[in-house]
């Protein structure tokens, strides 16, 4: 017999619906992977039940973009970031399968910790992971997707609508990869002014490109 | 993946500074701890990254027009982009064009300004055949004070699309001492096939 429980909301993230099955007098949650919290997914993998593989795939899909963004910030290379994603997800899934993740509620911190360790060891032979279980790799590979590029013509129009200074600042930030301090020196303005121009420009570009929260 | 609402979202400024590598390590670590546990803020940060990648892509494809520094021009050249450059002094007229291979046409206007002065550019474009005109005002353009010039990166496609025309640019320099005008800087543009050489 299945019983629906009220919706619960996590402070930051997944809204979930819980359905429980009653079997032999015990309540057992039936969690749809797409509607489960990260912690619930981790618990499913740890429990190694029938739906564990779906939970693994969902975990990979959720954490791949997070690790990629971390990798881009710290390794400054798309290829290195993709490599980082693969390694971190393989390590995470393998550790979950082996029951080596003691606190599934802290799975996000766990993955971040793995990302930090692997990124730190990047370039050294030591960072290479052991060969992955062939079953893990497809789930990881499926989760690694390059984000769809923005429509160039549309973006060009939006960038063209920025003020001159804002446009200069975003080009120096994202093409020249200059810090706010470097841009401030080059343009003879205060660093704080550069940051404000940059924030304003990105806010306007998000809206113009339909990427802000209200647009979806 | 649906972005669920976050009850304590990271400020946009923090996301932008994080992506640009401009946050101190401790603040960057806090941002990471948050978005690793938050699908919504991950999506917001991913949107910033897409914009950043898109903007870099616009430069790499010759698809943006802006006033820039000479360093950006040199970086683009080092990346293999083809840039055609014209330097114009106040009162000078220069013939210009854009070849099919040019990613950018760079216009360098000689100016002499002080750090407390701002420069607006007023450009009047007159079409030779029809006599029609268009006026563009660019406010507070970037001045390369070391080289004493304003460097304008023009998207190659945009210049190639222009018919034979005269571009007359005036610089309006404003500062504590008042306002002065420099120019006109005149470019006589002809499409590549008509260009004398």
Would you say residue A6 has pLDDT above 50? no
CB–CB contact B54 A152 (8 Å): yes
- Structure confidence by residue, pLDDT tens digits, A136-191: 677 788 888 888 889 999 999 999 999 999 999 999 999 999 999 999 999 989 99
CB–CB contact B18 A180 (8 Å): no
CB–CB contact A168 B12 (8 Å): no
CB–CB contact A186 B18 (8 Å): no
What's the average model confidence in pLDDT over A34-59?
88
Nearest to B57 by CA among A167, A156, A165, A180: A156
Which residues of chain A does B3 touch, with a Cβ-Cβ cutoff of 8 Å? 213, 216
Question: What band does B145 get if pLDDT is binned at 50, 70 and 90?
Answer: confident
CB–CB contact A66 B140 (8 Å): no
Work out the minimum CA distance from B197 to partner chain A, whole angstroms. 31
CA-nearest residue to A201 within chain B is B16
- Structure confidence by residue, pLDDT tens digits, B81-138: 999 999 999 999 999 999 999 999 999 999 999 989 999 999 999 999 999 999 999 9
Q: Cβ neighbours of residue B80 under 8 Å, at least 6 residues apart?
A: none
**Nearest CB neighbour to A171, from listed B37, B53, B59:** B59
Q: A167, A209, A214: best mutation site toward chain B, by most B Cβ within 10 Å? A: A167
Contact in structure between A84 and A70 (CB atoms under 8 Å): yes
User: If you average pLDDT over every residue of chain A, what do you get?
Assistant: 82
| Sheet containing strand B83-88, strands side by side | B66-68, B149-155, B104-110, B83-88
Per-residue pLDDT, A123? 63
What's the average model confidence in pLDDT over A94-101?
93
- Side-chain-facing half-sphere of A157: CA atoms under 13 Å: 7
CB–CB contact A66 B28 (8 Å): no
What's the average model confidence in pLDDT over B177-184?
94
- Structure confidence by residue, pLDDT tens digits, B32-55: 999 999 999 999 999 999 999 999
Instruction: Name the A residues in 81-140 with CB < 8 Å from any B CB.
Output: 108-109, 111-112
Say if A208 is an interface residue toward chain B (CB within 8 Å): no
Per-residue pLDDT, A124? 64
Q: B48, B142, B148, B172: best mutation site toward chain A, by most A Cβ within 10 Å? A: B142
Would you say residue A93 has pLDDT above 80? yes
**Nearest CB neighbour to A171, from listed B7, B72, B140:** B72
CB–CB contact B67 A147 (8 Å): no
Instruction: Give the three-state DSSP class for B29.
Output: helix
Instruction: Give the three-state DSSP class for A157.
Output: helix
Give the whole-angstrom CA distance, residue A86 versus residue A92: 10
pTM: 0.86
Q: How many CB atoms lie within 10 A of CB A187?
A: 20
Q: A15, A40, A73, A200: best mutation site toward chain B, by most B Cβ within 10 Å? A: A73
Q: What does the DSSP 8-state code read for residue A12?
A: B
Nearest to B47 by CA among A148, A173, A163, A169: A148
Q: Report ipTM (2 d.p.).
A: 0.93
Q: Enter the tokens of residue B34.
A: 């948050």
Question: What band does A127 get if pLDDT is binned at 50, 70 and 90?
Answer: very low
Give the whole-angstrom CA distance, residue B35 versus residue B42: 5
CB–CB contact A180 B17 (8 Å): yes
Contact in structure between B154 and B104 (CB atoms under 8 Å): yes
Say if A7 is an interface residue toward chain B (CB within 8 Å): no
Would you say residue A134 has pLDDT above 90? no
CB–CB contact A195 B28 (8 Å): no
**Nearest CB neighbour to A180, from listed B22, B75, B140:** B22
CB–CB contact A109 B36 (8 Å): yes
Give the whole-angstrom CA distance, residue B138 versus residue B120: 6
Which residues of chain B does A174 touch, with a Cβ-Cβ cutoff of 8 Å? 51-53, 55-56
């Amino acid at each position: 017999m299945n019983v629906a429980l009220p919706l619960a909301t996590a402070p930051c993230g997944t809204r979930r619906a819980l359905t429980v099955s009653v079997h032999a007098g015990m309540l057992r949650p039936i969690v749809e992977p797409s509607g489960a919290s990260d912690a619930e997914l981790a618990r499913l993998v740890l429990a190694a039940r029938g739906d564990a593989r779906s939970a693994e795939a969902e975990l990979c899909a959720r954490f791949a973009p997070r690790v990629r963004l971390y990798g881009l910030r710290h390794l400054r290379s798309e290829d290195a970031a993709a490599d980082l994603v693969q390694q971190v997800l393989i390590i995470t899934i393998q550790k979950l399968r082996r029951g080596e993740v003691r606190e599934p509620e802290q799975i996000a911190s766990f993955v971040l910790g793995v990302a930090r360790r692997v990124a730190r060891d990047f370039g050294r032979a030591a960072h290479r992971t052991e060969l992955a279980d062939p079953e893990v790799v497809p789930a990881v590979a499926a989760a690694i997707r390059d984000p769809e590029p923005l429509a160039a013509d549309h973006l060009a129009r939006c960038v063209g609508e920025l003020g001159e200074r804002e446009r200069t600042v975003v080009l120096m930030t994202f093409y020249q990869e200059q810090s706010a301090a470097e841009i401030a020196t080059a343009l003879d303005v205060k660093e704080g002014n550069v940051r404000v121009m940059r924030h304003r420009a990105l806010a306007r570009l998000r809206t113009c490109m339909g990427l802000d929260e209200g647009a979806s | 993946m649906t972005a669920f609402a976050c009850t304590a979202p990271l400020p946009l400024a923090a996301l932008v500074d994080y992506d640009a590598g401009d946050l101190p390590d401790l603040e960057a670590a806090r941002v990471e701890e948050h978005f690793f546990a938050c699908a919504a803020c991950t999506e917001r940060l991913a949107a910033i990254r897409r914009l950043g990648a898109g903007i870099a892509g616009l430069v790499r494809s010759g698809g943006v027009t802006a006033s820039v520094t000479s360093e950006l021009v040199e970086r683009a050249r080092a990346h293999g982009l083809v840039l055609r450059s014209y330097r114009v002094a106040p009162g000078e007229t220069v013939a210009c064009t854009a070849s099919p291979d040019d990613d950018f046409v760079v216009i360098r206007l000689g100016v002499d300004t002080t750090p407390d002065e701002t420069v607006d550019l007023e450009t009047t474009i007159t079409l030779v055949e029809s006599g029609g005109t268009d006026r563009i005002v660019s406010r507070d353009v970037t001045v390369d004070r070391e080289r004493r010039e304003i460097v304008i990166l023009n998207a190659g496609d945009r210049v190639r699309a222009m018919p034979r025309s005269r571009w007359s640019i005036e610089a309006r320099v404003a500062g504590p001492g008042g306002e002065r005008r420099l120019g006109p800087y005149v470019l006589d543009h002809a499409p590549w096939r008509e260009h004398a050489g």
